[in-house]
Amino acid sequence: MNLKVTAIGFACATVLAACGGLEKTDITPDLLMYGKQATFTVNGPNLDKGITFNAPSCGGIAEVAASAGPSEKVYTCTPAVTGPMTVAVVGGGVVLRSMTVTIPVPQVTLKTSLGDIVMELDPVKAPLSALNFMQYANANFYTNLIFHRVIPNQIVQGGGFDAALTPATGRAPIALESNNGLTNLRGTVGMARSAADKSGTSQFYINVADNPGFDYVSAAQPGYAVFGKVISGMATADAIAAVPTAVSKGMADVPVTPVVINSVIQTQ
């Protein structure tokens, strides 16, 4: 995506040195995380003559209104890739500065009433599901929701109800990504859904055992989409899976004592 600021002057377009020189423009990145707004500060002479900030893999590019005059401009955007991501500043058809930054594979920490769980997401094989989860997490959607469905030796599921079993209002459903090569092994994280294929919103589950019956078989038997894995805290997931459950408000497998998600924080 490109954000066009203004047209650069003729002198700068034809003689770059007139704008202060290529070597004097710099880009300083900050908060580089997948699915979370990053900041890029551009410093250099005569930036008010007109520049374009290019970042094809970073969505929603916008110039911050508080940019500090002709020698500094600040841009924000949300990285939609992991690994190398190139950004550039262009003036008068000339690249004033280009740099490649590295966006780490996203990780989040679930802080629950029974302990922490660290999950790593896979936006390469499950881009829709990973980004969807990050959008909920970074909006603090999961705070004070619960694990409402606990089946020993199978799954723990949460992200859709509070302790009173009041449903949380989620975003629009996303397409099912179950045919992505990821399987429902112990420790993997999947997208919960209803009987309809394209019905996943905020609810997720953690496999506490191998569940091959959840995997994609065919279009007629699509299974459930895995989009990440637990990299720390399976003992917490196992503890959740062991809590006593009962039927509550017509829902089965609800923990008798609520297992609360205190927060979900993106750590990289």
Residue pair 78/131 in contact (Cβ under 8 Å)? The answer is: no
What are residue 86's phi and psi, to 5 degrees? -100, 135
112 CB-near residues (< 8 Å, 6+ apart): 147, 236, 240, 259, 260, 261, 262
Q: For the chain, give the percent of residues with pLDDT over 70.
A: 90
* pLDDT one-digit tens code per residue, 193-212: 999 988 999 999 999 999 99
> How many H-runs (helices) and E-runs (strands) does the chain carry?
3, 18
Planar angle of CA 221, 224, 227, nearest 5 degrees? 145
The whole-model pTM stands at: 0.87
Residue ranges and CATH numbers for the domains of the chain are 2-103 (2.60.40.10), 107-266 (2.40.100.10)
* pLDDT one-digit tens code per residue, 133-142: 999 999 999 9
